[in-house]
Amino acid sequence: MPKKFIKKYMPDHHIIRNHPHLNKMFGTLLHDPNLLHLNRHSVSSAFFVGLFMAFVPIPFQMILAAATAIVVRCNLPIAVGLVWISNPITMAPLFYFCYLVGVWVLGGVHDPFQFELSWEWLMEGLSTIWEPFLLGCAIVGMVSAFIGYFGVNLLWRLRVIHHLKQRKARKTLNKIH
């Protein structure tokens, strides 16, 4: 079962609760049991936070995801882990897709551009594409966050229904014997 597998790798609640830097920043918010528990609400909310933050084009997305997960009171490790969907390998195609979505929504024309990893390109090249890029990131982030949230909720409910049917079938079988 995935829940048992994930639970095995979850950090100890006392370590997070007593971490000096986190405790100074978030205080009693770290005492919320949902930060490490695996329940439908906590996990689905973590998917929303993590998937949305994966498409926020800033460095240190994990810190932003962790802070949001603590404030929203959802599963902290899952929210932070999902941010790694946009990692150094996948970041370029994901953000290029976001740019194309932004161009499509704004009704503009896609201007091909040459990417260079330099400060000059960031200042000049990004100045021409920032509007469709940020709009595309917001749209793709929200759509993926909602799909993740409702998808986890649906899968969790289907799994619970399946377990209830199995338990009912076992009880019926035990009554017959």
CA distances from 170 to 26, 137, 165, 173 (A): 47, 49, 9, 5
CB atoms within 10 A of CB 6: 15
Q: Which amino acid is at 134?
A: L
What's the average model confidence in pLDDT over 4-10? 63
| Whole-angstrom distance, CA of residue 34 vs CA of residue 52 | 19
DSSP 110-171: -------SSHHHHHHHHHHHHHHHHHHHHHHHHHHHHHHHHHHHHHHHHHHHHHHHHHHHHH
Q: What is the pTM of this model?
A: 0.78
Percentage of the chain lying above the pLDDT 90 cut = 38
**What pLDDT does residue 1 have?**
45
pLDDT tens string 123-169: 676 777 888 889 999 999 999 999 999 999 999 999 989 989 888 88
**What pLDDT does residue 33 have?**
72
The H or E element that residue 173 is part of is helix 119-176
Of 7-21, 66-80, 163-177, which gets the smallest average pLDDT?
A: 7-21
